[in-house]
Amino acid sequence: MSRKATLPYDIRQECLWIVRGYDRRVKAYYEAVRQIADGSSNDNAGMPSGSRCSRTVEGKAEKLLAIEKWPETRKMRAVAQAKIHIGADLENEELRRRLADGIVLNCKSRNEYPFRYLGLEGISQRDFYRRKEKFLVEIAEHMSMI
């Protein structure tokens, strides 16, 4: 029986790169949110202030909404959503977490983190790679690539 690819090669590679950049995106997202919440990002620095009421809260809300519309935030959310759904049928929460982490590590570097080094007792190699493929498909669907 031949293995039929579920994703075209270019889309699969793009999904892998989305997963590989996940940690960087999460860090940038939370740093931007922190800067807005702390008020350290002041766009009106050096500008004369009028006698009108300040709209600080509304300005922060608008900036937070702009962050949510970033393409990088959308990619970050796609990976996070796929991580949540990947082991939903497993009853063991610890195994589910280790499976999601193992799939992400395998996507980042399949040579450094092959299945045999991940220590996922209860999941066969074939099942692991099927779940990895579903993980990538879900990311592609969330990003509207397919």
pLDDT digits (tens, 9 = 90+) for 95-130: 888 888 889 888 888 777 677 777 778 788 888 889
Domain boundaries, the chain: 9-41+56-142
* Residue matched to tokens 């393409």: 71
pLDDT at 2: 47
68, two tokens: 């949510």
Mean pLDDT of 49-75: 80
pTM above 0.85, yes or no: no
- DSSP H helices, the chain, are 9-20, 22-38, 56-68, 71-85, 93-108, 115-118, 125-142
Mean pLDDT of 29-39: 88
Q: Is the pLDDT of residue 44 over 60?
A: no
**CA dist., res. 109 & res. 104, Å (int):** 9
Listed in sequence order, the residues at least 6 apart from 37 whose beta carbon sits closer than 8 Å to its beta carbon are 60
**CA dist., res. 142 & res. 134, Å (int):** 12
Mean pLDDT of 76-83: 92
pLDDT confidence bin for 135, thresholds 50/70/90: very high
Burial of 146 (0-12, 13-18, 19+ CB in 10 A): exposed
Output the average pLDDT for the chain: 83
Q: Is the pLDDT of residue 17 over 90?
A: yes
Q: Is the pLDDT of residue 31 over 90?
A: yes
CB 82 within 8 A of CB 135: yes
pLDDT at 55: 74
* Residue matched to tokens 């669907």: 141
